Amino acid sequence: MDLVKFKGFTFVEGGICAPHGFRAAGIHCGVRKNKEKRDLALIAAEHSCAAAAMYTRNKVKGAPIAVTKKHLENGTARAVIVNSGNANTCNADGVEKANQMCKATAAALKIPEDEVIVASTGVIGEPLPIEPIVKGIPTLARALSTEGSEQAAEAIMTTDTVKKELALSFSLDGVNCTVAGIAKGSGMIHPNMATMLCFLTTDVAIGAVLLKKALTQVVDETFHMVSIDGDTSTNDMVSCMASGDADMKPITSAEDPRYAVFVNALYVLLMNLSRAIAADGEGATKLLECTVTDAPDRATARRVAKSVITSSLFKAAMFGADANWGRILCAIGYTEGSFSIDKVAVTLKSEKGTLPVCQNGSGVPFQETKAKRILEADEIKILISLGGGDCSAIAWGCDLTYDYVKINGDYRT
- Report the alpha-carbon distance of residue 13 to residue 316 in Å, rounded: 36
- Report the alpha-carbon distance of residue 132 to residue 362 in Å, rounded: 60
HEC string of 5-26 equals CCCCCEECCCHHHCCCCEEEEE
- Report the alpha-carbon distance of residue 243 to residue 325 in Å, rounded: 48
Q: How far is CA 369 from CA 296, 311, 325, 398, in A?
A: 35, 24, 15, 22
Q: What is the sign, positive or negative, of the torsion defined by CA atoms of 103, 108, 110, 115?
A: negative
- Report the alpha-carbon distance of residue 406 to residue 10 in Å, rounded: 39
What pairing do the DSSP bridges indicate for beta strands 40-55 and 22-27? antiparallel
Written as one letter, the residue type at 154 is E
The answer to whether 75 and 51 have CB atoms below 8 angstroms apart is yes
Helix (H) or strand (E) holding 198: strand 197-202
| DSSP type of residue 395 | E
φ and ψ at residue 408, rounded to 5 degrees:
-85, -10
- Report the alpha-carbon distance of residue 304 to residue 154 in Å, rounded: 34
Please calculate the CA angle 71-223-29 and round it to the nearest 5 degrees. 55
- Report the alpha-carbon distance of residue 46 to residue 108 in Å, rounded: 14
Listed in sequence order, the residues at least 6 apart from 38 whose beta carbon sits closer than 8 Å to its beta carbon are 26, 27, 28, 84, 151, 154, 155
Active site residues: 195
